[in-house]
Amino acid sequence: MTWVVYILECSDRSLYTGITNDMKKRLAAHRTGTGAKYTKYRGPLLLRYTENYETKGAALTREASIKSLKRSDKLALISAANPTGFDNKRTD
C-alpha cells in the first residue's frame, strides 16, 4: 500500500499538511467538509504537493517534518516540485 503526504492550500492561503492511503477519497472528504476540522470552512482547496511512501510510519515521519517547516520553506518545497508555477490540481 502506498501512503501519500500532501499539502493543500486553503482559500485563506494557509497550508494544510496531511497523509492518506487513498488520495481521491481524502480530497473528496476535504471538499465535503469531513476531511479535517482545519479545512472544513477553508475551501475551495488546491492540492499543491504530494510525496509517496511505502509505509505509514515513513509518511507520518515526513508529515511531521513538513509541519515543522516555516511557511516560506513549505512554499519553497512546493515551488521546487512545480517550477513552472502552473498547477492543475484544483480540488473544488
Confidence at residue 83, expressed as pLDDT on a 0 to 100 scale: 65
- Is the distance from CB of 66 to CB of 53 less than 8 angstroms? no
Of 13-22, 63-72, 79-88, the one with minimum mean pLDDT is 79-88
Reduced to 3 states (helix: H, G, I; strand: E, B; else coil), residue 50 is strand
Please, what's the largest Cα pairwise distance for the chain?
33
Q: Which domains does the chain show, CATH number per domain?
A: 3-81 (3.40.1440.10)
Confidence at residue 5, expressed as pLDDT on a 0 to 100 scale: 97
Reduced to 3 states (helix: H, G, I; strand: E, B; else coil), residue 90 is strand
Confidence at residue 81, expressed as pLDDT on a 0 to 100 scale: 86
Q: State the DSSP H helix or E strand holding residue 41, giving kind and residue range, or none if neither.
A: none
Region 9-13: mean pLDDT is 96
Region 59-66: mean pLDDT is 98
